[in-house]
Each structure stands twice: as structure tokens, then as C-alpha cells.
Chain A
Amino acid sequence: MSFETILPQVLEPFRGVKRVALEEYFTSGHRTCQGCESALVMKLMIKAAGARTIVLGSTGCMYVANTTYYTTPWVVPWMHTQLGSSGSAALGTAAALKALMRKGKMREEPINVIAFCGDGGGADMGLSAISATLTHRDYNCLILLYDNESYANTDIQLSGMTPYGAYTTFSPAGKAKRIMHKRWKKNMAGMMAAGHPECRYVATVCASYAVDMMNKVRKALSIGGPTFIHSLDPCPKGWDYDPMFSHELGELAIQCGIFPLYEVEDGKLSFYGQTKYLVEGRTKRKPVREYLSRQGRFAHFLEEDIEYFQQKTDEMWEKWLIPGVIPFSNA
């Protein structure tokens, strides 16, 4: 079976932080919050991809706070897409490039296509379009989901990716109901990897580990076909902590085992970074209390809530078929 893709760019991994490209393609002109990890994700994502890239941005913080008419931080071509349209935007752009190059209407060259979405746009509204795109082997594109665990742009409302019990403006802790939000977070990257067996690359990343994160983007763009990356982005406004701690909170999410770092490349799973140490037993998972207690959104938690959160996290590691990835087991 051959797929009619145009050849992707070849982007070798950056071998260490000192070898990272100096050029910036996400520069001044945005007005994201102090400590915004998602803005860093944008900067690293496009630094990894380079100038010959088209970026599509679905509605969310990284649209509204980034691109206000008369200013733009994007040095590369950039276009807004609708909240649930990251998958369709990537597909339409990649399809147009392919058609125009094949028919001789555009100079032939590999051009990266990246569509990004937030957790609401990606894991809630845009799920079906992303899912469809990941089955279209004929088109090269990357969908990057930046997950700050709420609809942060519209004033911190809960999404399908908001962690259990977190305070949002749609799930305030009140006198009668301490825990308004009882849903456990979707397993988005695992769902994308397991549900789309022909998608050649799915990864989770965290910008606290910037070089790793950029190299995952480079691999996703080089491998060919549609690919998916899920990035966990601490959000000072939504998570309620001092902006200086964004980096540390990203690390804690991984060290506590709440957000495992892994990649699935051509059907092969590998854990990396701090998660690899956890899987290999070289380090022990930190208690989730260390992560939860640093954030105002969990300030209403009682001991039983922390215990529940710990128990559910333990299940990810002890009961899942593949720890942190496949949430069922052989009976």
C-alpha cells in the first residue's frame, strides 16, 4: 500500500540545548499572561519547525491573547481557525499544498503544517475532526494540543481535560457542594494513539523539558502523515499559583505520575525523561499532594479528596494495561 504524500521535511533532533536554532518565529506582539506556559509552547513549537511552516491556530488563549489586529507574534504564515477545527484546518491546508504542487500550480517543496488547539478545542469540541485527520495518511500535518486544563481564555471554565475536583468558574467550591467537577480527565494522547493505528506518531510533551519537547515536534513533522502531540501547560491564572512556578509545576505533574511523558512511533511505545525513570523504578513517584497543594484550584480539597486523587493516579500506574497509556487490563 502506498500513500500519495509529498515528502516531509527532514528535521534532525537538536543535540542539546546549545545546538538549538537561534531563530525565533514567535516573537514580541502577543499579550499572554506572565508565566504563560502555552506561549512558551508556541515559541518552542515553531522554533523546532522552522520558517517553512504554516501554522493554524484554533480559538482559545493562543488565538485571542496572541494575535490582535495590528500586532502578531508570528513570523511564519498564520491563520485562525474555529474552536473545533484544528483537525480540519490542518487537513485543508495540507490538501491544498499537495494538490497545488502535484498540478504544478505551486513550487514543489516540503512545507510543515501545524494546527494547534487548546484542551477545550481539541479534546472536547474538535475531537471528531482531529480523529478524522489522524486517519488521512495522504497528508502531512501535526496537530498540537496545548492543554492548560480549562477554557482559560473565556474565564477559566472546566473542560473535559480539567482535573478532578478543580475549582473553575463553572465548578466553584460552594457551601453545599465542595466538589462540583467529578469527571476524570480524558486520556487524550492514549486515545489518539490507540484509536488511530495508522497515525505514525503520537507524543506527550511538557515545555519544562524544552529540548525534548522541540525534538518531539521535529520528529512529528519529519515522519510523514498526520501526527499528534499533547502538551501539558501549567497556567498561572487558571491553576492559581505564582507565575514564577510554571516550570516547577510542569515537572511536578510528571514526577507525581499525573502526566506521563511518552511517544508512540510506528506503533512502538517508549517512555522518556522523568517518566522513563518512574517506569523503570529508578525514581519513585512523588505524592500528588505535592502537586495539588501548590495550586489554588485545589485549595478546597480535604484529605479525602487528595486520597481519591492519589488512588486514581495509582490506578494509572498499577492497574492499567500499559501504565499511564492504556486504561484497561486483561481480565
Chain B
Amino acid sequence: MKADTLLIPQETEALISGCEAIAQACRLADVDVITGYPIRPYDTVMQAIAKLISNGDFDAEYIIAESEHSQFEIVKHASAVGARVFVGSSGVGWFYAMEALAVTAGLRMPVVAIVGNRALDDPGAFGVEHNDAMAVRDLGWMLTWVDTAQEALDTALMAWRLAEDRRVLLPIAIGMDGSYLTHSQVLVKVPSQEMVEQFLPPYNRGELQLHPDNPITIAPQVNEDWLIEIRKQSDDAMRRAKTIIPDVYADYHRIFGRGDSPFFEEYMMEDAEVALLGQGTIAMPIKVAIRKLRAEGQKVGLIRLKWLRPFPTAELQAALSNVKAVGVIDRDYSFGSPFHSGVLATELRSALYSLDKRPPVVGFIAGLGGREVTAENVIEMSNITTQVAASGKSDTETHWIGVRG
């Protein structure tokens, strides 16, 4: 152990945005190669990183790519050589990189990315929707959503440890609600380098490293001979990741005192009869509404989902087994899906289906394009869910909330 790790670990507080918190995480993780390309709202993270590098506070190769496709291809190849990497995008920029996103997962490169969630053009819109990041949910990307700048920093540090774990080796995308989280400044505890070094080991590809000392051939053509076996390996890795996530959170909690609930945050769920479920910054108006509803005697609680991939099926089954109805608030859409629901509602119905006694699920679509979801909107959704709970029957209608006529 180096002498300086024996010093008492220190955290400092800083007034920073979600994107600036991620930039601090990149510095603390000693990331080697970073690529940027401008698109709102994620790009403030690259501006923050650029300042750290130009001021000599952080040493990394910082490459401005000529497109998102190149941005993601560059870090994919840097990762193969053994560099710790960071990248990110938003909205249609994420889609411009889609080929690179697919092969990054196919190659099991431990790339850590943020998605500053943004609606997909056209028509142009800067505000948050989750469809950008969700587009990779079937490809072998681990997907998590965070709610605060603190959680963004903490989750990023955990992401490199998880992604680079030899039992996992999967890329991770961290969803951050555009504007609400990417640009809002709050007080964030920034750990010391010594604390991070206790938690995050160096990236070591071992015999997978592309180097003249280890002359391997990566990604030859496999065709029908081997592809299904390789897909199964990705499936196994995602299953293993599910079991490793709680260990990583526990270790993070041991060192930093934060990160005690790995898969979802539960808010006033102990005696809840009606649960609302969502992800990202929508948790805030939901919590405000729940406090109002509780004051009126309604037993409503919140589950804020953190990990969409791997999906915490058993944990959600346990957490929701005693409620009378679940209202799922999607900040996304899946046109033509079962019951015309958003993605979360469809996934939750699927996750609960194997239960003998399962609560009815009500689907809501709200806050698209960055439209503010108010406490009143949440109360409306809670009331609909409460009515379904009283009837005991599933509501097959998906409710769009706050849509003008």
C-alpha cells in the first residue's frame, strides 16, 4: 500500500452540475482517452473536462472527433489497447453512433458513456426523453439512470469498476436527464484520489489486450458457426453483472458512505398500497406529490429505478408483491407496443407476469420533450392508479399526462 493511502480520506464539497460531477469522476478515475463531439445537453461534460485538462488538473488524451460515430469508434479501439475510456452523447447524436454502439457491446469493450437524455429530432427539441439511451437496451449495454449530480459522480466511479470487471466486460451508459440534471448545480461531495484508488483498480485486459507482445486477432468473421455461442456469452456476462452490482455498491458504501441501494431507490414504500415507478429526475415531483398525498392519508410510495439493464426482476417482484397497483411513469414511448405503453411499463408487466399474485400495472407517458412534470400531474397519475387498485382489475389504457388538446 502506498504511504499516501494511509492518510485520512477526505471529501471536499463543490457546487457543480451533473456534467461537472461526471468530469470530476473522469479525473478521479484517471481516464486515459476521452472523445467529444458537440450536442446539447451532454456536451457540458466535455467542456468541463476540457478545462480540467487545459489547466493541468487531469492528464488524458482528449480528442474532438468529427462525428459521434468516430467518437465512439475511437474509444472502442483505445479500450482494446488497454486504455480506460469515457465518451458520451445525446439524442440523435447517440443514434449517429449506433453502429459503433452495437459493436462496442458485441466486442464487450468496457466503455463508460453518459447519455444526456434528449428527445430525438425531428422536430427539433432539446428537452429530456429516454428513448435515446433506451435504443441500446437489447444490445449488451448496461443501462443506468441517475437522479442527482452526486449520484452521477458515484455511479460513474462504480461504472468503470463494473464494466472493467473481467467477469463482466460490458459497456455502461449512464442516463442523465437533459437540463434537469446535466445543467443544474448542487453541492456535491468530491472524493479524494486516495479514496478512489482504494475502490477502483487499474484497468487490466490481460490476455485480451491488443499489443505486439500479445498478438491476438480480435473480431474475426464467425458467421453461423459461432455467433450464437458468443451471444450466449454476452447473456452470461449480463447475468453475472446482475450479481456483481450489489457487491460494487456495498464496497462503494463501505468507503464513501453512499450507494446503499443498488437497483432502485424506495421512497415511503414500507406501507405503500399504491406504488409509482419511474427513473431519473422525475423522482423529485413524485416525492413532493407523495408527501402531499400522504398528508391526506393516501398510502403512496415511489420506486425510482436505477438499472434498466440488467433489469432487477426478482427485486422488483419482491418490492411490489404487496401493493394493490403500480403506476409506471415513462418519459419515453414505444409506439405500437402492447397497450401502447412506454418501455418501463411494458418491461414491468413482463417482469411481474410470473408472479401468482401480481398487482395491476397502469402505464403513463409524461414529460416528453422536457415538459415539466408537476406535482399536480403526479397526483393525477396517483389517483388513476388508486382507482385501479380499488377495482383490482388491470387498466389496459396507457394515459398520456399533461397533453394539450
Contacts and interface: CB of A to CB of B under 8 A. Distances in A.
Interface stretch (B211-219, B256-264, B327-335, B384-392): B211-219
A76 B73 CA distance: 21
Contacts of B297: none
A95 B83 contact: yes
Nearest to B210: A77
A82 interface: yes
Given A63-B221, A77-B210, A106-B82, A95 B61 contact: yes
Main secondary structure of the interface of A (DSSP, over half): mixed
Interface in B167-223: 202, 210-212, 214-223
Interface residues of B, number: 42
Contact of B80 (A51, A93, A103, A131): A93
Contacts of A87: 70
Contacts of A187: none
Interface string B7-40: 0000000000000000000000010110000000
B324 interface: no
B77 A88 contact: yes
Given A95-B74, A128-B70, A79 B210 contact: yes
A85 B73 contact: yes
A273 interface: no
Given A54-B211, A77-B212, A92 B74 contact: yes
Given A95-B74, A105-B32, A131 B83 contact: no
A99 B210 CA distance: 15
Nearest to A106: B82
Contacts of B32: 96, 99-100, 103, 105
Contact of B65 (A52, A88, A102): A88
A56 B66 contact: no
Interface string A289-306: 000000000000000000
Interface string B226-247: 1000000000000000000000
B159 interface: no
A111 B59 CA distance: 21
A128 B103 contact: no
Contacts of A111: 211-212
Contact of A85 (B70, B215, B216, B218): B70
A93 B215 contact: no
B67 A128 contact: yes
A99 B70 contact: no
Contacts of A128: 66-67, 70
B378 interface: no
Sorting the interface of chain A by its residue count into under 10, 10 to 19, 20 to 34 or 35 or more gives 35 or more
A51 B67 CA distance: 32
A75 interface: yes
B218 A80 contact: yes
Give chain B's interface secondary structure class. Answer: mixed
A275 B210 CA distance: 39
Contacts of B69: 84-85, 88, 129
A74 interface: yes
Contacts of A129: 66-67, 69-70, 73
A93 B202 contact: no
A77 B70 contact: no
Contacts of B63: 91, 95, 136
Interface stretch (A32-40, A64-72, A201-209, A318-326): A64-72
Contact of A77 (B60, B76, B211): B211
Contacts of A56: 77
Contact of A105 (B202, B215, B225): B202
B81 interface: yes
A78 interface: yes
A220 B69 CA distance: 26
Contacts of B77: 56, 79, 81, 88-89, 91-93, 96
26 contacts: A51-B212, A54-B81, A54-B210, A54-B212, A64-B221, A68-B220, A68-B223, A69-B226, A72-B220, A74-B215, A75-B215, A77-B218, A78-B216, A84-B69, A88-B73, A91-B70, A95-B63, A95-B74, A96-B77, A99-B33, A100-B81, A102-B59, A103-B59, A129-B73, A132-B70, A136-B63
Interface of B: 30, 32-33, 59-61, 63, 65-67, 69-70, 73-83, 99-100, 103, 202, 210-212, 214-223, 225-226
The 6 closest A-B pairs by CB, nearest first: A92-B77, A88-B73, A96-B78, A96-B83, A92-B74, A96-B81
Interface of A: 51-54, 56, 63-64, 67-69, 71-72, 74-82, 84-85, 87-89, 91-93, 95-100, 102-103, 105-106, 111, 128-129, 131-132, 136
